[in-house]
Amino acid sequence: MRFIDEVEISVQAGHGGNGCTSFLREKYRPRGGPDGGDGGKGGDVILTADRTRNTLLDIHIQKHFRAQPGRHGQGANRHGRRGQDQVVRVPVGTLARDAETLEVLKDLYREGDTWVAARGGKGGRGNARFATPLRRAPDFSEEGLPGESRRLRCELKLLADVGIVGFPNAGKSTLVAGVSAARPKIADYPFTTLVPQLGLVRADEERSFVIADLPGILPGAAEGVGLGLRFLKHIERALILLILVDLSDPLQEDPLHTFALICGELERYSPDLLRKRRLLAANKIDLPLARERMESLRRRPAAAPVHYISAHRGDGLAALIGELADCVDQVREEKDVR
């Protein structure tokens, strides 16, 4: 499935039905009066967050969404039927912006969140509504009002408790595969991960959290280098950032320098990212060069808690999962208190 995380759509609510101009004509009621019914309200266009959707591909294909108009009123005081709503299902975590001003109109960040993107027009009143003691035979009625229309820019920002950030080939996909049931593509070349992957990690019988494997970033990602700029936005909703570095990479001699480079890219994209709690995972300790560096790294102070792991062999993963679960619980509690 193609991963689409940005798309512009147009929404058009239904036109309200016209009111009816009608007079009662029956054989035994010669003094019949106005009996025109009201027009029905136009249908709304409604965006709803649906956890079964994980991409904006569906609305990328259709792009134009129109609700049904209301039916016109009829004689005998029969009111027109309301137009059917057009429900647009989007993934949880979708931002709806005005396509021109880019103002955020709605953040659909919970399952079942709904938002009326365009309201249907009001139905016109039939001539029966205008009858008074002084005006017993009104020969006019109202037209229905047009429904709202607008262009929207929908942006998907994945909802994950833990976002894994690192350079290409740091082992992010292997880590997600090792701690969850997700099966991302794994290979030894840059940008194996072309789309974000989500995995559910179960820390124990009562605790679990969602982890996101994001495409690798490169120096300059905040300015558009590589794939990082497109996917850095998916880190914004993560509660915890797990910085993953490859201890065995001969081109990255100092893991703490690599950690600082990654944090610098995050800060350039959004300073708010560095306010998030961060953990450092030094990966591939099953390899000889990584083991040598690990001993040196242990003796140096780090800007974040450090875990030494082998995502491939499973070393250190239980301790890492436990601390991530603790951090997620703490951040969730802090958010609830606030």
Q: 0.75 cut: is pTM over it?
A: no
Distance CA 311, CA 7 (A): 35
The phi, psi pair for 165, rounded to 5°, reads -125, 135
Distance CA 258, CA 137 (A): 84
Task: Please list, in sequence order, all residues whose beta carbon lies within 8 angstroms of the beta carbon of residue 319, skipping any fewer than 6 positions away.
Answer: 307
| Digitized pLDDT (tens) for each residue of the chain, 338 residues in all | 456 778 999 999 999 999 999 998 777 766 778 999 999 999 999 999 998 887 788 898 899 999 999 999 999 999 999 999 999 999 888 999 999 999 999 999 888 999 999 999 999 999 999 999 899 889 999 999 999 999 999 988 777 889 888 887 788 888 888 887 655 455 444 444 456 677 888 888 888 888 888 766 665 544 444 444 566 777 788 889 999 999 988 877 788 888 888 888 888 888 888 889 999 999 999 998 888 888 888 888 877 889 999 988 999 999 999 999 999 999 988 876 44
Walk me through the domains of the chain, giving residue ranges and CATH numbers: 6-156 (2.70.210.12), 162-337 (3.40.50.300)
Cβ pair 194, 215 in contact under 8 A: yes
Cβ pair 46, 88 in contact under 8 A: yes
